[in-house]
């Protein structure tokens, strides 16, 4: 017999993630415990649109000594300190307990805007459309050579961002990263069994239940997944079987820009702060025309109960399994009720 909604919000239980074949522990009763641990200092983006000391502002010299273009829209350049590089060295071992393999790839940086002070929710819709089109160009260019192109953004000092200028990153690789490999395997297995994409079936059920939906439009849905690990984690999904960003129609690009703006605005409005997160896109691997894969965006914010209290993945999470305090249903309700008009634009 399934548990009632009241019990699932109050009692410890586990939830299964069919995308990566992992379980998480949900402990909603812990969210009211006293907090005497670390609290973060609130940091807001600088109010100035140009910072002469910023390595990413137009025309400035980066730490590497290279100079940025005087860009007006998105600006893409090779990462001066790339984590993955073109590699002619053969580094591999087939020893059972000492396996290794060569990695080839490339890394790039995407400055979203010349304006140093504006993050995604504060940009105009046309700017967001420009960012999506920049992502599409990056996929086109890099997928000619690499199997996987990971587009992502780390926003906020609390989340490891080393420069406050609004920007994202791209790490392209000749291999499928571990998390992507798991998603690919599980989506494929589900499709072979059901002749339907896992994420489309999941989305249909979520829309019918209407318990974890944050916002939606004709083409896209944002929800807190049933198996969410981070407190305010969300999943951005298309409502039709789209497997890659480069398959989007012009109208779908515009509606994607709108829902990204709506989601990131709700994040900022949740605690009236520039909300930190790590986000990224999972499109089908390069060269595949797979029916099982549905493109999707992951958003992983680290905040737990306020703008200054962070969720740490430590202890049991490292040694046992991932654990969360607030239920996915409670988190989605909080995000859903947050305004999609940015708090900086609201009258005092």
**What pLDDT is recorded for position 311?**
87
Q: Which residue has the tokens 């009763």?
A: 29
Co-location of 224 and 163 in the same domain? no
pLDDT digits (tens, 9 = 90+) for 153-179: 999 888 778 799 999 999 999 999 999
In a domain, 195, yes or no: yes
Are 124 and 268 contained in the same domain?
A: no
Q: Does any domain span residue 214?
A: yes
Domain boundary among 155, 173, 191: 173
Token match 């009241």: residue? Answer: 6
Whether residue 147 sits in one domain with residue 202? no
Domain end, chosen from 173, 188, 208, is at: 173
Domain boundary among 115, 141, 173: 173
Answer whether residue 129 is part of any domain: yes
Written as six digits, the tokens of 236 are 């951005």
| Nearest-angstrom CA–CA distance, 162 and 57 | 14
From first CA to last CA, the distance across the chain in angstroms is 49
Residue 147's CB: how many other CB atoms inside 10 A?
19
Residue of 167, 292, 296, 298 marked catalytic: 167
Pairing of strands 75-78, 148-155: unpaired
Residues 264 and 161 in one domain: no
Tally the domains of the chain.
Answer: 2
Rounded distance, CA 129 to CA 271, Å?
26
Q: Are residues 193 and 282 in the same domain?
A: yes
Position 5 scores a pLDDT of: 60
Average confidence score pLDDT of the chain: 91
* Residue 167: active-site member: yes
pLDDT at 90: 75
Beta bridge partner(s), residue 201: none
| Burial grade of 236 (CB within 10 A; 0-12, 13-18, 19 or more) | buried
Q: 175: which 2 tokens?
A: 């291999």
The tens place of each residue's pLDDT in the chain, 348 residues long, gives 344 466 666 789 999 999 999 999 999 866 665 544 555 555 555 578 999 999 999 999 999 999 999 999 999 999 999 999 987 677 778 889 999 988 999 999 999 999 999 999 999 999 999 999 999 999 999 999 999 999 999 998 887 787 999 999 999 999 999 999 999 999 999 999 999 999 999 999 999 999 999 999 999 999 999 999 999 999 999 999 999 999 999 999 999 999 999 999 999 999 999 999 999 999 999 988 789 999 999 999 998 878 888 888 899 999 999 999 889 999 999 999 999 999 988 765
CATH number at residue 152: 3.30.428.10
């Amino acid at each position: 017999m399934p548990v009632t909604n009241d019990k699932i919000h109050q009692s410890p239980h586990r939830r299964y993630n069919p995308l990566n074949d992992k379980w998480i522990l949900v402990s909603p009763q812990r969210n009211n415990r006293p907090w005497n641990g670390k609290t973060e200092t609130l940091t807001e983006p600088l109010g100035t649109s140009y910072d002469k000391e910023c390595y990413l502002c137009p025309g400035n010299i980066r730490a590497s000594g290279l100079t940025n273009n005087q860009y007006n829209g998105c600006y893409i350049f090779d990462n001066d300190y790339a984590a993955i590089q073109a590699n002619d060295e053969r580094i591999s071992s087939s020893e059972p307990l000492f396996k290794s393999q060569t990695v080839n790839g490339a890394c790039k940086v995407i400055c979203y805007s010349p304006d140093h002070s504006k993050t995604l929710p504060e940009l105009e819709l046309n700017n967001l459309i420009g960012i999506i089109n920049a992502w599409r160009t990056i996929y086109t260019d890099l997928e000619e050579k690499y199997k996987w192109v990971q587009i992502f953004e780390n926003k906020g000092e609390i989340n490891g961002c080393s420069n406050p200028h609004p920007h994202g990153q791209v790490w392209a690789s000749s291999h499928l990263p571990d998390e992507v490999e798991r998603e690919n395997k599980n989506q494929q297995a589900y499709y072979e069994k059901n002749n339907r994409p896992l994420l489309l079936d999941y989305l249909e059920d979520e829309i019918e239940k209407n318990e974890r939906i944050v916002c939606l439009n004709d083409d896209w849905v944002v929800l807190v997944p049933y198996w969410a690990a981070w407190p305010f984690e969300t999943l951005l999904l298309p409502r039709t079987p789209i497997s890659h960003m480069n398959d989007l129609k012009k109208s779908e690009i515009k509606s994607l820009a709108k829902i990204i703006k709506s989601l990131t605005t709700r994040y900022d409005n949740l605690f009236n702060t520039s909300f930190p997160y790590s986000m990224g896109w999972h499109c089908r691997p390069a060269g595949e025309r797979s029916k099982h894969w549905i493109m999707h965006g992951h958003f992983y914010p680290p905040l737990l109960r306020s703008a200054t209290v962070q969720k740490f993945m430590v202890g049991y999470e490292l040694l046992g399994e991932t654990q969360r305090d607030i239920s996915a249903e409670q988190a989605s309700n909080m995000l859903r009720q947050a305004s999609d008009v940015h708090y900086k634009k609201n009258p005092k």
